[in-house]
Each structure stands twice: as C-alpha cells, then as structure tokens.
Structure 1
Amino acid sequence: MPEKPRLQPVDEADLQEKTLASLAPYRDQDGRIYAIWATLAHHEDALRRYLVFSNHVLGKNTLPLTSRELMILRIAARSRAAYEWDQHVRIARRAGLADGTILAAATGTWDGLDDLDRVLLAATDSLVDRQGVDDGLWNRLTALLSTEQVIDVLYTVGQYLTVATVINTLGVQVEGELALPLPDLSDQAVQKEVSP
C-alpha cells in the first residue's frame, strides 16, 4: 500500500448537498466523514449508488453481526488493508468480540470458533482464492444458512474485497492509531476448508 494517499479525501465543503445527505450516517464520533467515503467522493454519483449496496451489506445483512465481522476481518488481514482492518476491529469489539477471537479469525487459527464461523471463514477464503466454493463447502453452507444468507455471504466477501482494493490502491490511510495491530500473515499458510 502507498505510504501516502494517492487521492486526498474530498473536502466536505466541495461536496454536493445530495452527497452530503447520503453520507450523513457515515461520520465518525467527531462528525467527520470517514476517509474511505471522502476519498470515494471524487466520483460522487458512483459513491451515492455504492452506498445503497454498502448499507445492505453492513446494515441489513441477514448474517449474524459477529460472523459478518469475522469474515470482513479475515479479508482485511489477507488483503493487508489496514484501514478496513482498523474500522472493523472497532465494530467487532462493539459487537462483543474479544481481541483473541478477532485475531483467530484473521490468522486462520479457527479451532476455537463455532462451526458456523469456521464454515463462513472457509467460504471467505475460497471466494477470495477461487471466486467460488466446491460442492462440499456449498453443502456445508446450505446446511447452516438460508438462501438469503448464502447470497449475503457472497455480497459481504465481494463488497469487502472491493473496499480492500480501493484502500490499497488509493492509499486510504488509517485515521489515528490502529486499534489492534494488523497481523502479518506472510509466514502463515492460508487455512483451507475445515473438515466436517
């Protein structure tokens, strides 16, 4: 990832009113628009359209909140997307996940996780690596999840791979200190599907 932003976040004063209205829920505790959205505001029409999909994945997703967050954290760790990692560590903590669980999901040490989370993380890795899942993993997903939830698995992985790509290509910088260090996965083999 670049050490400096390749695109600076757009100043709020330069945004259209309809873009500001769309970004109203996407502000930090100090009222500032999150850097990812202010960066994507260089293309305001696309940003407003993207926020509709993003709102489904982050706010109306049918997957359990903690499971969704573990999937996102796995993608962030594998992609080395520090901004995504930091934001979702904070969300995961608010959802009640302990740092040990967050790091286990991120690093592929899933033995202590429940069956649903292990299957979801295996699916996450398969989707990242192969853009699909084999029949065995498909059967495990459909045994545990509804059809809507399986589709939300695909949407969640797709969205957060997109976000990681944006972060790493445009150089979106972490806002402040990392809440939890981003694990280095370079010496670790990516965990493959867990056996039933």
Structure 2
Amino acid sequence: MTSTSRARIEPGRLRELGPINWVVWQVLSRVAGVPDAHLFSTLGRTRGLFRGWLHFSGKLMPGGRLPRHESELVIIRVAHLRGCEYEMDHHIRLGRRAGVTPEILARLRIGPADPAWTPKHRALLDAVDQLTTTRDIDDAAWAELAEYYDDRELVEIVLLVNQYEGLAATITALRIQRDRL
C-alpha cells in the first residue's frame, strides 16, 4: 500500500460504530498510544462481527499461551513479510513493551538466517516464514519447532501467523491508513 492511497472505508465514529464499539475504539486507541487507531475505527463499523473478531484476536494475543515476546516476534515477522506498514508500526510499539529492541527488530527484518537467534527463536521464525510464504510448514521445520513447543502452542503458532497474515491482507485491501502519533 502506498502512503498516498486513500482509505476505501473511512474510519467510523459514534454513529457508524455504535456506542459499544465506539467505547472499545477509544480504549484500544489509548492502549495503542494514538488518538485514532484506524484499524479499530474501520473494522468497528461491522458492529458484532468486530467484537467477535476482537475476542478471537485477543485470545491469541495478548491472551495466548505464548510468551508476549515470542508473539511479537511472530507478528512483526509476518508484518514484515507482507509489507504491512500499519501492522509494523503498531507492533513495533507493542513489541518494545515486550522486549523487542531495535537490535531484535533489525534481526527480524533479516529473518531466521540471522546467526544471533537462539535455536528456539530460529525454529519459530523459520516456521513463520514457511507458513507465510508457502502456506505450509515442512516436516523438518515442524519437528524442530516441536522440540520447543507443546501441541497447544503449536496450534496457537499456526493460528497466530494466519490471524496476522489475514489482518495484513485486510489492512491492505481496505487501504487502512497508518495511525498518526
């Protein structure tokens, strides 16, 4: 998405969001540290669907079993691979709170080939890259990932990658504009 693209759906306000989603948007904007989190003021137009999506998304992050730092590694890597600036902006801010330093961020842009990763994080990022680029994880990468994560966490990793890949596609297709700080 180019920075000159216009939003295909304008962010909603009280009338378009309804009172519940308006309050949710206000709270989530504050948490994100922005006056208007465009993602939420756009998706909030779908009313009940937005709340269902938010519940699902929140169960993965921040409510998932993966440590927050690892969830942010996954999300930022997906955002980078998909070229989703909105997702990158948002999760660089959130990732900072979870220990994603500028050095780690630079390594995330390189990917699993960076030699500074721990074997666990390399396995995680390799799985993210494979799932994002091929829609599958090969047996060798899966076996490596399974050395570090239990069955529930493995399912969660696959769901988390696909949630944020789908979100990146939604942001891109709707031309949701980057938030202003």
TM-score w.r.t. the length of structure 1 is 0.82
Output the amino acid matched with 1:70.
Answer: L
Aligned sequence identity (%): 25
Unaligned runs of 5+ in 1: 178-196
Report what 2:116 is aligned to. Answer: 112
Is the aligned partner of 1:142 residue 2:146? yes
* 1:98-118 CA-partner distances (Å, limit 9, x unpaired): 111112112225211111111
110-119 vs 30-39, greater mean Cα deviation: 30-39
Question: Among residues 121, 125, 145, which one is paired with 1:121 in the alignment?
Answer: 125
Q: Distance in 2 between matches of 1:114 and 1:31?
A: 33
Correspondence 1:73-92 to 2 at 5 A: 73-92=76-95
**Aligned pairs, number:** 177
Displacement, 1:25? 4.3
Is the aligned partner of 1:152 residue 2:151? no
Displacement, 1:164? 0.4
TM-score w.r.t. the length of structure 2 is 0.89
Is the Cα contact below 8 Å between 1:54 and 1:159 reproduced in 2? yes
More helix as a share of residues: 2
Moved over 3 A (4+): 20-25, 29-33
How well do the aligned residues superpose, as a CA RMSD in angstroms?
Answer: 1.9
Output the amino acid matched with 2:18.
Answer: Q
Output the amino acid matched with 2:7.
Answer: P
SS of match in other structure, 1:144: coil
* 1:62-117 CA-partner distances (Å, limit 9, x unpaired): 11211111111111111111010000001111112211111211222521111111
